[in-house]
A and B are shown apart, each in its own frame.
Chain A
């Protein structure tokens, strides 16, 4: 009896739980705190930014950083610090909405494929291979060329096209889960397939799903920045980090006014780095090695 007691104890009571393991991951905690600060700055942008991001001061064009304009002013006299702070709203909005959309599509398709198997599984897997063969940036460029660039089209297209990796991961999880006894039990109690998938299978994929959504969030921020840099993303005058670097492509700005592009560039890098650290921490604490 004594020997078997340990066997019967659920796995989660052995050692620290996922939360404790995440908190032990120092870089991940640092990343989470930093991301929290950025989210706070985005929410409080009108106060943190100190200046109107759209207001042009014609007497202060191309001004180097000083006490009034912490990061100087741009070519038409707008405050760069304020635009960097307001730019976080664009990045975070696109990132969050796109990742919610792609996670929703990816997890539903993946669960459907893994649960039903057979022809549906084959069809969904071939579709993900198609999506993985064409880089998302190119797909987004293709559809932006049809719809024209706008905040909505960029978000929608990144969200609608980024589901393939989520789909693969969820399918892999579901293939294992559907053989478990509790699924058989749930079915035997008279639950329909849809209910089993939504109530019993998907909640059990939360670990890997959160990891992949976190990395997807980082990717969506990078994609929006890349598109705006290429002039295909969020159109001006909306402040966007990638867009601010787009304006820095002329040799005079690049060489003579580094404050115009170094701050937004660093903002993208540091935000994505923070999100990637969180993703690493989640991966280690959720114990999903395959990702």
Chain B
């Protein structure tokens, strides 16, 4: 276990550096004076040209790109993400306020995906080739193929405009005292729209994982011993089938992020994705660089956690290197 963990962590280091390299490339390719993305604009405006030249040398902006990268990286480690070219705000501050907003939406959506996806996937597998199985499989295929924004617009049209059941934009009703019920009502539609695609993906994976375990000899043995269907299912099938789902959960995060970017736009949810779309429209690479860094590191960490969780749950992984499944 120790060796596996160590190797897994060592592999993650070059990937982490690669992510910072991609983020830096965006900064290096950005048009305009790079110092604008590095020094607080309010300070920059008050200083003399000599002082600015001094900082430019300090940041290595007169040096070749590799030197600039190392200088930028050392600032990054200390939490210096620079400044937005378009809004002139600190990228770090902006991310700190936006990230929790997005996490709330993504957390709710993931919970929805797990609660709906895993039980229905198990049901479809247990009733393989039944009408229910075909209906669920077709539905998941339809959900995977429908773009999130179309689903979002349909949900707004149906529940917001026609049935007038739920609010369709923002995190809370403007001009009211913040209260939990209002916030939950605002969360329902975006979290459901974002969660449906994840539910569909999880349903597909749970179904195929369960079908694979159901075919194994130990399940036949358990049935042969005369154990009840319930015990066979819970102790012998479900436990083994859920292990691969751990790695799927690790892989769902990129999907979840992409969905969140779009869902936040549709429902005017003021999170990181909403900000990223505005930054892309404003041609503001320094802000997007921050988003790419946060998301990239988040995805890397979650896949690391998923791999470690998998190795704890399934000892075989520690000894034979298993290829990750592709979604």
A interface, CB within 8 angstroms of B: 126-127, 129-130, 132-139, 141-146, 148, 165, 168-169, 172, 218, 222, 225-226, 229-232, 242, 245, 248-249, 251, 254-255, 258, 261, 265-266, 268-270, 272-273, 276-277, 280, 290-291
Contacts and interface: CB of A to CB of B under 8 A. Distances in A.
Contacts of A148: 283
B325 A230 contact: no
Contacts of A226: 147-149, 258, 262
B142 A145 contact: no
10 contacts: A126-B14, A129-B15, A145-B284, A230-B261, A230-B262, A230-B265, A231-B281, A232-B281, A269-B147, A290-B326
B258 A133 contact: no
A258 B144 contact: no
Contacts of A143: 26
A232 B26 CA distance: 17
A132 B254 contact: yes
B295 A135 contact: yes
Contact of B18 (A130, A135, A172, A231): A130
A265 B153 contact: yes
B279 interface: yes
B145 interface: yes
Given A126-B18, A226-B149, A142 B289 contact: yes
Given A141-B276, A145-B285, A230-B265, A134 B153 contact: no
A138 B292 contact: yes
Contacts of B284: 145
Interface stretch (B47-55, B107-115, B154-162): B154-162
B292 A134 contact: yes
Contacts of B153: 245, 248-249, 254, 261, 265
Contacts of B146: 268-269, 272-273
Interface of chain A: mostly helix, strand, loop or mixed: helix
Contacts of B156: 254
Interface stretch (B61-69, B226-234, B296-304): B296-304
Given A134-B292, A146-B29, A268 B326 contact: no
Chain B interface size range: 35 or more
B123 interface: no
A273 B291 CA distance: 31
B323 interface: yes
Contacts of A231: 277, 281
Contacts of A130: 15, 18-19, 21-22, 296
B280 A269 contact: no
Given A137-B258, A142-B289, A255 B149 contact: no
A255 B22 contact: no
A168 B299 contact: no
B154 A265 contact: yes
Contacts of A172: 323
Contact of A138 (B144, B147, B266, B276): B276
A230 B279 CA distance: 12
Nearest to A171: B323
A245 B289 CA distance: 27
B272 to A, nearest CB: 10
A146 B26 contact: yes
B279 A135 contact: no
Contact of A142 (B26, B154, B157, B281): B26
Contacts of B276: 138, 141
Contacts of A141: 261, 276-277, 280, 288
Nearest to A291: B326
A265 B148 CA distance: 10
The 9 closest A-B pairs by CB, nearest first: A130-B18, A265-B150, A273-B145, A272-B145, A269-B146, A141-B280, A135-B254, A255-B161, A145-B280
Which of A130, A272, A290 has the most chain B CB atoms inside 10 A of its CB? A130
Given A135-B254, A141-B288, A146-B285, A232 B280 contact: yes
A62 B147 CA distance: 25
Contact of B291 (A138, A242, A249, A268): A138
B141 interface: yes
Given A133-B303, A273-B142, A138 B18 contact: no
A230 B282 CA distance: 12
A74 to B, nearest CB: 15
A205 to B, nearest CB: 15
B283 A138 contact: no
A134 B326 contact: no
A135 B252 CA distance: 11
Interface string B249-271: 00000110110011001100000
B147 A133 contact: no
Interface string B1-28: 0000000000100110011011000100
A277 B154 contact: no
Contacts of A249: 153, 266
A177 to B, nearest CB: 15
Contacts of A265: 147, 150, 153-154
B246 interface: no
Contacts of B157: 254-255, 258
B73 interface: no
Contacts of A165: 326
B11 A268 contact: no
Which of A231, A251, A269 gathers the greatest number of chain B CB atoms within 10 Å?
A269
Nearest to A215: B326
A290 B150 CA distance: 30
B238 interface: no
A232 B279 CA distance: 11
B161 A254 contact: yes
